[in-house]
A and B are shown apart, each in its own frame.
Chain A
């Protein structure tokens, strides 16, 4: 058997900054203009929530090399926390979302503390098992209202002033949270701390021998990823005004893996693209009889077999990508 190679994650470096920021600016402009160009705001908001979710997940898989199979616990858990805070405590939306993110971070601390004791596939199985345990707790505890879920979560008034009930107001709020989340991730990944995480991903024994407390770094990355996932989950609860068991299931954990894998593990924009593709496909098949899991599963298999680097990763590795200055480092 060959020695396991690290996950194939590229790093874009040396790209012409004008090109990079130009593209990012264009993307942002596109998102600002999208509702005026005929895109359905609720669809856009769903996309942004999942895109942030996937980016937060990628922080862990792409930059630390840890495959969590339990991120639904943070996503769906935060949706419950935010929903509860907004509905039962009457908090304003920004505070309710913070409650969701904080709750997800606390959950991440517990699950992460246990899971980092093992590596690789064991890590994946442990996170899956613990998130399933959280699912059963959600199923039983009165605070989640069981099978019915939390219904009628109010969107409320942002800072007590701006009413978020109109879809357009809500959309720009979601977009702001999304951009804020991405900025945090970008700052985190490009900090010295992020470099240490990449070192752990590339060669854990060497990072240990250099004197880094690997377990602590992994745990911080895990909690960070959980908190940002919570941010996405909390926003989703406000957008759809409910929180249900669907978001806590293992299928949801699988979905976010698919988005990240399809877009490109370890790239900043890959997960956003992946989320866009998956959410669009789901919307398309939502009305048909064809079960979307067959499609999701098939995409998983094809992606792993044929283009492991994902859409963005393969583009970086292609001749055109190389000419533009994207560098694929293993």
Chain B
């Protein structure tokens, strides 16, 4: 059997694929955080809870309304995004004038409430979500066999990340958005409805988290705790990447997912903390983050 540094090649590939999948979630979530932070200057602590909300909405749609995976994949981000818009309109908006730390504290409270409510109703145990029938079974890639659903997750997240990148960097809406990030007062003076833009941006970021949640539902157990487990790691990803660049957030997400997977292969004990270690090293070497501009 072929080996690389004493590890069978097949096992290594398997872990790398898992790393890419985790990386997909890190990328989608840190992308959402970066989009929100870019315009609103708010770190959305509730991002993990909204990821969980996405998974639960898909689960509820399937089990109570009989709405299948593919519809849920489109419907869920819209529902959760709308909820985000309501929160932004009614509450978050009042905090823009205050220190950004208050935004963090507010969304932290929101995360606790959301997680608490779902724990109350559904208990802490995870709920299974079967992947859609078209994506069941495995595909043979020549060098290894891989469950079809995992391939789908990687492809879907890549497409989504690149679409959001294109939306922000290549379209007229994105140009307005970037302009509003630089100078909201001036953009408003040009007749752009900046408050609406802020609501849209928050809904977009939240919708991305929900999309990631639906993708994650068949892989992880749908559980109220799935959000808080991932959000702290995503914060570390964001510190490593720096929030200045959209592409930076995406690339860092995939990279750290792979780094975590490699650690699992060669030194499993450290796999839980490797991302934090990388963050510490980056802080020592390049405090602004790999792609960051501001300190």
Contact = CB atoms under 8 A, between A and B. Distances in A.
B165 interface: no
B112 interface: yes
Given A124-B104, A126-B279, A126-B283, A1 B96 contact: yes
A56 B21 CA distance: 41
Contacts of A295: 116
Interface in A279-330: 289-301, 303-305, 308
Contacts of A8: 98-99
B115 interface: yes
Contacts of B283: 114-115, 117-118, 126
A305 B94 contact: yes
A52 interface: no
B106 A301 contact: yes
B183 to A, nearest CB: 9
B43 A308 contact: no
A136 interface: yes
Contacts, number: 134
B116 A297 contact: yes
Nearest to B109: A300
B200 interface: no
A129 B95 contact: no
A308 B119 CA distance: 28
Interface residues of B, number: 46
B273 interface: yes
B16 to A, nearest CB: 22
A300 B105 CA distance: 7
B43 A125 contact: yes
Given A118-B295, A136-B272, A293-B116, A254 B108 contact: yes
Interface stretch (B126-134, B135-143, B231-239): B231-239
Contacts of B228: 250
A10 B229 CA distance: 36
Contacts of A121: 43, 100-101, 104
Interface string A131-144: 01100110110000
A118 B287 contact: yes
Interface of B: 41, 43, 91, 94-102, 104-106, 108-117, 119-120, 184, 228, 232-233, 235-236, 238-239, 269, 272-273, 276-277, 279-280, 283-284, 287, 295
Given A290-B120, A304-B109, 13 more contacts: A5-B99, A114-B284, A118-B287, A120-B101, A121-B100, A121-B101, A125-B235, A128-B235, A250-B228, A254-B108, A257-B108, A295-B116, A300-B106
